[in-house]
Structure 1
Amino acid sequence: MTDSRERDHRRRWLRKAGAACVAGCAAMLLPRLATAAPEPWPTRPVRIVVAVAAGSSGDLLARILAQRLEGMWKQPVIVENRPGASGVIGTEYVVNATDGHTLLLGTQSSILPKFTTKNLKFDPTTDLVPVYKVINYQLVVAANDGTAGKAKTMRGLVDLSRRDAEGLFFAGTGRTSIFNLTMALLNKSLGMKYSALDFSSVTAMNMAVMRDDAQFLVNTPSSMKAQMEAGKLRPMAAISAERYADLPNVPTLSEAVGYKGYLPLLWAGMFVPKSTSPAVVDRIARDLRAMTADAQFRSLVESRLSGSMVVSSPGAFAQQLNEEVSVWKGLFAELNYKPE
């Protein structure tokens, strides 16, 4: 009888010990599985596509980022310029990329074709994943020296456009580019009389205004720095709620003409195709954030590109995009803007 009880007790103890051992082993394995090293990335050269021509602010930013990322990723980082169709060509190229190593350094011009381009073959709001907002650019209305001399002020530029039988000519890079759209939105309140001429690049746009083929434009100060320093292009108003620190004598639109409407903000951010793995998205965002946290690097970028680098994340960038898309969508409807 005693032997039987001892055998039963021993079997119960062994079952409990076995269960505890299994649970303990599982507990030891789970953290290892959860913290297992992610798949190595990148495993080949990385391409950063910019949908603008060489020489623009976006192109320069991409090359500055590429140089730093090469050191972090231990792989070549190549900048590819794919301009055309107001950003659609470069954006569509990235949307269709499947190699897991193609990124897009885009702007609003990457997203807005959803509302401005008829028969678009992709949806930028769902076919691209926002990774990190990199920079907010400064943006100004500028005129050539002759036009600025006649107008004197932004208010004078508005009046000058109304006095001329043909109005003035505006230099842009396409009806759906951020420059053209910004002017169209501002003009809802400004009431300028102008016609838009489209050019293939920001450089060509600047040259056209200096030649007086067009009289004014919207652009970033960094893209006009040499021309502004030479007095060939003169900023008339800052498209901002406050004056820019490095352009203290340039009034805001509110100061210049009492503008109270929506102020479009030009930015640049990194996107990837929707097929990109979440681990890669997180890796890119983490490395871009580390670059932003580097005070010396941030100062270099901001001084060369007349903008402010942003502390961002995939979630924050996505939320900001959703809010901005909602604003643009409403404005397009208000303007009765028809896709072409």
Structure 2
Amino acid sequence: MELQNQLKALAEKVVKLKEQIDTEESTKHAFVLPFINLLGYDTFNPTEVVPEFTADLGLKKGEKVDYAIFQNGEPIIIIECKNWKEKLVAHNSQLFRYFHTTKTRFALLTNGIEYQFYTDLEATNKMDEKPFLEFDITQLKESTINEITKFHKSNFDIDEIVDNASSLKYTKEIKKMISIELEEPSYDFVRLFAGKVYSGRLTEKVMGEFTDLVSKAFSQTISEKVNNRLNSALHKEAEKQLEEDKEPEKASKVNTTEEELEGFRIIVAILRRKLAIDRIVHRDTQSYFGILLDDNNRKPLCRLHLNGGNKYLGVFDEMKKETRHFIETVDDIYQFEKELLQTVDYYEEE
């Protein structure tokens, strides 16, 4: 949720300021660096975010990429920036020329509004011609924000992102083809369906008729599916309202605070390296805020004690004995990453 709010704030800033920005340097400072920063990387730390990173290629010395993000002394993302008014044309990009001279698996081409993430799915150590993830920061969808979250410093896992990149890339291409076919069905597409439902000879006249029929059939199918889902959602909401009207809900004494939810989001960011997000569940009580594996009380992952005078993070050992650690703010939870991940290992060993 925090990253989503930060991205929304940056998008609003882009829309507000872009007409006042004329140069590539201004684009970098106003739009690109804030994006890098909200991913958790310190843009003021030259060992983490390196501006004007040099990647020599053969006899061509001194070529530089605008930024390189480092982790454990190695570049993990190289970034080339353009003026926000420029179109992104990867084929003319320096990223292609020195992608294979570094050990990075990811390259980002951006003009501060459009972002294109590349990797080497098709040939090892050679940047793909098409991005596996691209978006306009002013028109973000929730699914895209989930993908951006994977590049956050606290979540970054090369293997996980690369594994997912293939699915993202080809799903995007298939969706694009489907949109084109729905807009203007191709001959082969129409023939596929006409051949299954029409027993006669597929003459030019017949194909012309079926082109219109296939287009209408797909439009109607999509419309019907949307209506069915809306009706189903409305029906469930009506049933829920009836239940609520029948039996007034008793006032709960449990008050879940935003600080507890923020702590939960940090813990999810840490544990998702080993667990699927839907397996990490929170359950608030009057005395503590519990985080469970598979919503199972017998599988506590940790507890937050934030509502007293002092704040504590409770972690569990292999005997499920809780040890409380003092924290000043929920950000201190990151200091106990090792202990939290170890708790997951205990349950996997079981």
TM-score scaled by length of structure 2? 0.24
TM-score scaled by length of structure 1? 0.24
Q: Which one has more relative contact order, counting CA pairs under 8 Å at least 6 apart?
A: 1
Rg larger for:
1
